[in-house]
Amino acid sequence: MSVWPAWEVREDERTTTWYTVRLGFGDGARIDVLAVVGDGAVSLEEVRAQPPLSLDDLAELGDWLEEPLFLACVPGPGPAAEHLTSASSRRGRPVWPPGIEGRRRIAQEYRTAQQQGADPVLAVMCATGHSRRRSLRLISQARDSGFLTPRHVRRRSAS
């Protein structure tokens, strides 16, 4: 699988980036996708597959592309990384504070994305540089620490 930026549009403080994604399979099948990352969300603009995808495969396409697109949208070294601190880990992830401060920032990223109508989990993924699974774990820790409201309100039985 390969992902590379196709083009980028900047308007005020917002940036929208189009990515070309190619999935190649051992049997010669291939899928080409034009994906858009902007406003905290990822959308697929165009999908071409040879042979054509079934509806079930098309429904799973987002899961197949999630990690590669996420890795592509995390800024690496260079001008796109201006908002990162000068220190970063070997994998190009932004430095994220541990403990309570990190959980507080997770909650802040999550709530900001919700208020803007964007995907809060994707916002946490892009902010921390972690996978979806790790980001969900961090969000859960922020909930457990009281920085976010509980996911489900427990009902008390009427006695």
The answer as to whether 22 is a domain residue is yes
The verdict on 25 and 50 lying in the same domain is: yes
The answer as to whether 31 is a domain residue is yes
Number of domains the chain contains: 2
* Domain hosting residue 33, numbered range: 2-68
Q: Please state at what angle helix 132-144 crosses helix 99-115, rounded to 10 degrees.
A: 100
Structure tokens at 29: 């099948």
- What value does the mean pLDDT take over residues 80-89? 35
Of the residues 16, 34, 68, which one is the last residue of a structural domain?
Answer: 68
Asked if the model's pLDDT at residue 84 lies above 50, the reply is no
Percent of the chain with pLDDT over 90: 9
Structure tokens at 157: 């039985």
The verdict on 59 and 83 lying in the same domain is: no
Contacts with 71 (C-beta within 8 Å, 6 or more apart), sequence order:
3
List pLDDT tens digits, range 28-70: 888 898 888 777 677 788 999 988 888 888 877 877 777 667 6
Residue matched to tokens 């995907």? 119
**Measured between alpha carbons, how far is 38 from 69 in angstroms, rounded to an integer?**
12
Provide the residue type at 115 as one letter.
Q
Write down the pLDDT at residue 155. Answer: 62
* 3-state percent breakdown (helix, strand, coil) of the chain, nearest 5: 40, 25, 35
Number of other CB atoms surrounding residue 35 within 10 Å: 23
11-15, 61-65, 141-145 — which is least confidently predicted?
61-65
- What value does the mean pLDDT take over residues 106-129? 86
Q: Whole-model pTM? A: 0.44
Residues listed for the chain: 159
The answer as to whether 149 is a domain residue is no
Cα torsion 78, 80, 82, 84 to 10°: value is -90
Of the residues 39, 68, 97, which one is the last residue of a structural domain?
Answer: 68
List pLDDT tens digits, range 113-123: 888 888 888 88
